[in-house]
C-alpha cells in the first residue's frame, strides 16, 4: 500500500479551509474522497452544515450509482460500488456544468441546477433532488473515484478545483464501514463479508490514487 504524507488536522481547521474557498462572486468545487468507510459523507455533510446553505451545498457522486435494474442487466450488481457501476460520464458532465453555472447564468443559458441524490435506505439514486443555486459559492462533492486515472473518471480531476483525500487509521475505517452496512440492514456476518471482500478491493484501488490529491488529511477530533 502507498505510503501517504498525511496531514493531521481538526474539523475546525478544515472548515476554515473550506470557508476560504468560498469566494463571493465565484464558484469553487471542493472534492472529498477516500476509501469506503473513511467518513467522506459525514465530513462533507458537517462542512455544509457548518458553513450554511448560503455558502455551500453538497452534490454526491453516489447520486450517479447505476440503478439496480441496470446493474443486473450488466451482470455487475454483485460488484455494486466498483468504479464501473456508476454513470461516470453523467457525473463528470454535471460537475463541469456546476463549475460553469455562474457564467452560463450571466449568459442567460442556465438557472438552478438539480442534481441527483443517493438514498441508502432504498439503495437507489433519486434524480433532481439537490438544488444548486447559482449564488452559492462553494459546491462540495464527495465520492470514491474522484482521483481515478481511468476515463471518464480522469476528467473529474479537471473539473474539481480542490480534492482532499480522507485517510483515517485502517482499523477505524473498517469499523466504520462494518457499522454502516449493519445500519442499513445487513447482518454482522454480511457486513464483515462485504467490507473485507468487494469493498476492500475497491479501497485498495482508491488508496492508490491518493497521491493525486491536493491534501491528504486525518481528522484528530
Q: What's the pLDDT score for residue 63?
A: 97
CA 113: distance to chain centroid?
18
pLDDT(121) > 70: yes
CA–CA gap between residue 173 and residue 99 (Å, rounded): 31
Helix axes 198-207, 188-196, angle to 10 degrees: 40
Q: What's the pLDDT score for residue 26?
A: 92
pLDDT digits (tens, 9 = 90+) for 147-206: 999 999 999 999 999 999 999 998 888 887 788 778 767 787 777 776 676 778 888 999
Nearest CA to 207 among 141, 130, 148? 148
CA–CA gap between residue 17 and residue 10 (Å, rounded): 11
pLDDT(114) > 80: yes
pLDDT(53) > 80: yes
Q: What's the pLDDT score for residue 189?
A: 76
Q: What is the DSSP annotation of 9-32?
A: E-HHHHHHHHHHH--TTS-EEEEE
Q: What's the pLDDT score for residue 195?
A: 64
Length of the chain measured in residues: 221
Q: Helices marked H in the chain — which ranges?
A: 11-21, 40-51, 68-73, 88-99, 101-106, 156-159, 170-183, 188-196, 198-207
pLDDT digits (tens, 9 = 90+) for 60-111: 999 999 999 999 999 999 999 999 999 999 999 999 999 999 999 999 999 9
What is the C-alpha R_g of the chain? 17
Higher pLDDT, 121 or 210: 210
Fold of 7-219: Rossmann fold (3.40.50)
Q: What's the pLDDT score for residue 30?
A: 98
Amino acid at each position: 500500500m502507498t505510503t501517504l504524507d498525511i496531514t493531521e488536522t481538526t474539523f475546525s481547521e478544515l472548515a476554515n479551509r473550506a470557508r476560504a474557498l468560498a469566494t463571493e462572486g465565484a464558484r469553487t468545487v471542493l472534492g472529498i474522497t477516500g476509501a469506503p468507510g473513511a467518513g467522506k459523507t459525514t465530513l462533507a455533510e458537517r462542512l455544509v452544515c457548518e458553513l450554511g446553505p448560503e455558502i455551500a451545498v453538497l452534490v454526491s457522486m453516489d447520486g450517479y450509482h447505476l440503478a439496480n435494474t441496470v446493474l443486473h442487466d450488466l451482470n455487475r450488481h454483485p460488484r455494486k460500488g466498483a468504479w464501473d457501476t456508476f454513470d461516470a460520464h453523467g457525473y463528470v458532465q454535471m460537475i463541469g456544468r456546476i463549475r460553469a453555472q455562474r457564467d452560463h447564468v450571466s449568459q442567460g443559458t442556465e438557472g438552478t441546477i438539480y442534481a441527483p441524490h443517493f438514498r441508502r435506505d432504498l439503495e437507489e439514486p433519486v434524480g433532481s433532488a439537490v438544488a444548486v443555486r447559482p449564488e452559492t459559492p462553494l459546491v462540495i462533492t464527495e465520492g470514491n473515484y474522484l482521483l481515478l486515472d481511468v476515463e471518464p473518471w480522469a476528467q473529474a480531476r479537471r473539473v474539481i478545483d480542490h480534492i482532499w483525500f480522507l485517510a483515517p487509521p485502517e482499523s477505524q475505517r473498517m469499523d466504520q464501514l462494518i457499522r454502516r452496512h449493519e445500519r442499513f440492514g445487513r447482518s454482522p456476518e454480511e457486513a464483515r463479508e462485504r467490507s473485507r471482500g468487494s469493498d476492500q478491493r475497491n479501497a485498495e484501488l482508491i488508496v492508490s490514487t491518493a497521491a493525486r490529491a491536493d491534501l491528504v488529511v486525518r481528522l484528530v477530533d
